[in-house]
Amino acid sequence: MIHFGIVIDAPRIGAVSVGLLRGGAMGLRNILLFLGLALSAAPLFAQEQLWENEASFFDGGDELDPSETEEFRGDMRELLNLCRATPPRVEEVRYTAQLVNGALPPGGGLSPGHIALTFDDGPSPVVSGTIRRTLEACGIRAGFFYVGTRVRWMETHRPEDAVVRATLAAGHSVGSHSMNHARGLSIGRLASQDTAASRAELDFQVRQGHEVVTNAAGVWTSFMRFPYGAGWNTPEALAYVATLGITNFHWNMDTGDADPEHRRGGPAVLAFSQESMMRGGDFIRANGRHCSNHAAPGCYNRGGILRGGIVLAHEKTSTASALPRLLRWMIEEGATFVVFTD
């Protein structure tokens, strides 16, 4: 006989999956009783949840350290050799000089070839260090947008890392990325609703989330990135963060590393990034032959014009894996790496 069982696999209402359990003696009455007790115990709000849960740090293979692989070590050797021969150009840009009508445009107002790499969703106990070490090996600086609950987790479980202060000390910029990056969170929608509930959630996600990051940094930062980019051009949202002295940083180029198809594959992230960052050109191998598969090993976009602006990336295994090859390509294409400053 086949019985239906209810399995609660996430700490949120509605995150319920129905599985087929062969054997067992759980009857419908017991199933309903179990479900009712589980749902009544579930939190109604995400405010005290840790990013979803601590296991999400390692969910789906996103949090494996690629630096342990021989392929990554080989990529790093090639990158370091290039950086010794052709030191990357790095430039500081005051964000206030780039504002248009009080807001930062999606590309940051940067000219062609000037690119600001930015990384969302950290800090991570696994890949944050790998990403920073890869950048710092060549003196390249970037921007990091941290989630409040992840900062708290690191302060509690890995205080010795002092990850936010270490990021600043290495010359990178830091900003906030909401308190818990709740699924479907839209800063624009919350600001537009203007109800007691929306104002409370907006305060929690923006002001309190930003406070966690600045406290961990030990200095004030004016930088934030709205989760999912939702509300980046909503007047109410931009006006609200402005009252807090915060500026939203949107992007005009994307690594594609949030795409489920790319989450595990560094080559796919590399190819997507090049397509986003280059105008024209073609994917070719070192021998000049055309690549029909842009994500194939040894394929790079050549012959185009490097765009300027802000690149969206995330602290993921696939991103960390692709980063040495991406930096090498950017240096070879003559990129100037931009870091925004207060």
Residues 262-315: pLDDT tens digits?
Answer: 665 789 999 999 999 999 999 999 888 999 889 888 899 999 999 999 999 999
Q: How far apart are the first and last CA of the chain?
A: 66
In the chain, where do the E strands start and end? 2-8, 16-22, 89-94, 114-122, 143-146, 173-176, 223-224, 247-248, 253-254, 278-279, 282-284, 300-302, 305-306, 309-314, 336-341
Q: How confident is the model over 63-104, as pLDDT tens digits?
A: 688 998 999 999 999 999 999 999 999 999 999 999 998 999
Ranges of residues in the chain with a pLDDT under 50 are 1-61
Rounded to an integer, what distance in angstroms lies between the CA atom of residue 310 and that of residue 22?
Answer: 52
